[in-house]
Amino acid sequence: MRVFKFGGASVKDAEAVKNVTNVLQKTGFSNLVIIVSAMGKTTNALEKVVEFYLNDDPELQKSITEVNTYHKKILNDLFENKQHPVFKKIEGFFMDLETTLKRNKSQQYDYVYDQIVSYGEIISTTIVSEYLNQQGFTNQWLDARNFIKTDTAYRDAEVDWEITQKLIVTKVNTKGLSVTQGFIGSDENNFTTTLGREGSDYTAGIFAYCLGADSVSIWKDVPGVLNADPRVFENAELLSHISYEEAIELAFYGASVIHPKTIQPLQRKEIPLYVKSFLNPLNEGTSVKKGQPLDPYLPCYIVKKNQILLSLSSLDFSFIVEDNISEIFNLFHQYHIKVDLIQNSAISFSVCLDDKFNRFDELLNQLKPQFKVAYNKKVSLYTLRHFTDKAIESLEKNRDILLKQITRETYQMVIRD
């Protein structure tokens, strides 16, 4: 059996949803589990709902209505029969969303985020599932929260693999066609959790691992894994095939095509991953498999925006040693701040950070009594895998470079935007 994942761009409107049937017609739809993300920019819109709700902003109701209106248009474009049960189902989900907000007593952002933003996936998969049924692609809609069990680390939950595998193996029918959500799971109390932003790829990896799938295909609006983001760099080229190791490296450094956690479960069972274009489903795209050399062997350019460069030095000119570094990293872990680059000397320690939970200011309060602190916000981290002198020269041209570092295969620089 196979696992397909369709991201937000592939179901952003009625025409995109219709194209899903085109992909299934050309690639086959038996013995298949489809993972679907929220439609278009719905996750961003629901994040606004959470923000307005927690800030008691009068724009709250308007923001919910906008999300509802967006999905109603897609429904109206897909279903000629306005009495189709899907209309009541979707309206019911929006009523549930508003009821959840009214009954909620928690002001914890991460918890509220997961309970509300998850509606994007629930709604999108219901629309896609009902449309596929209407078009003759008989399928079973699954609630991923009944299968993927996690801890209570809201917005970045860890999967309980033992329970999750047992539930998926015993309850998912691998002989037909199933549709379920990416990104979401639930904790032991059945509160919704999420697996991290853009986590639908990871969901595909989880289902594939638990079911021993023959392959995973991620359907994108690009022809496959490119050596650069075409929105940032000109003349990006397709990487025909790469190894699991290379895919993990690219994902870790910030390549947006594959979620960083996706590869590990696939690699354990040597399940091949394909990244393909939903506009040209018969094209080969990129294959990710064991031991494949990078082909073609090109420099790979990755950029991560809105980073923080933090530099720490001792107050008394003593060495920054293992005990200090251990303490600093414990604080990074405590405040859920990801480290993307490290550089240290005898009395200083610099790191490039990704503060996705906006807790850097809390971290500063812990660091300032112990260290001399300097930092730059809103910097960009550029990573160049398999660099050449020419590629480095081109990347550095006219840049205000704050820090750079070169290892055997990787060049990185932090620049002021």
283 near 222, Cβ under 8 Å?
no
Judge contact between 51 and 101, C-beta under 8 A: no
- For residue 223, is the peptide bond before it cis, meaning its omega torsion is within 30 degrees of 0? no
Query: Is residue 43 annotated as involved in ligand binding?
Result: yes
CA–CA distance, 198 with 204 (Å, rounded to integer)? 12
Q: Does 278 belong to an annotated binding site?
A: no
Q: Which helix (H) or strand (E) holds 379?
A: strand 371-385
For the sheet with 241-243, list strands across it: 140-141, 177-181, 32-36, 2-6, 215-220, 273-277, 286-289, 241-243
Look at the block and give the residue holding tokens 């209407």.
134
8 annotated to bind ligand: yes
121 is known to lie in a ligand binding site: yes
Please check if 5 is assigned to a binding site. yes
6 is in an annotated binding site: yes
322 and 345 in contact (C-beta within 8 Å)? no
Tell me the DSSP string of 380-405.
Answer: EEEEEET--HHHHHHHHTT--EEEEE
CB-hemisphere CA count at 13 Å for 406? 5
Q: Torsion angle, CA of 44/49/51/53, rounded to 10 degrees?
A: -170
**What contacts 292, CB < 8 A, 6 or more positions away?**
241, 242, 243
Helices 109-117 and 119-134 pack at an angle, to 10 degrees, of 10
Q: Are strands 273-277 and 338-344 parallel, antiparallel or unpaired?
A: unpaired
CB 66 within 8 A of CB 39: no
Q: What is the DSSP letter of 409?
A: S
DSSP 348: E
> Is 399 one of the annotated binding-site residues?
no
Question: Which residues fall within 8 angstroms of residue 51, CB to CB, at 6 or more apart?
Answer: 57
| Annotation: binding site | 5-8, 43, 121, 231
| Annotation: binding site for ATP | 5-8, 231
| Annotation: binding site for substrate | 43, 121
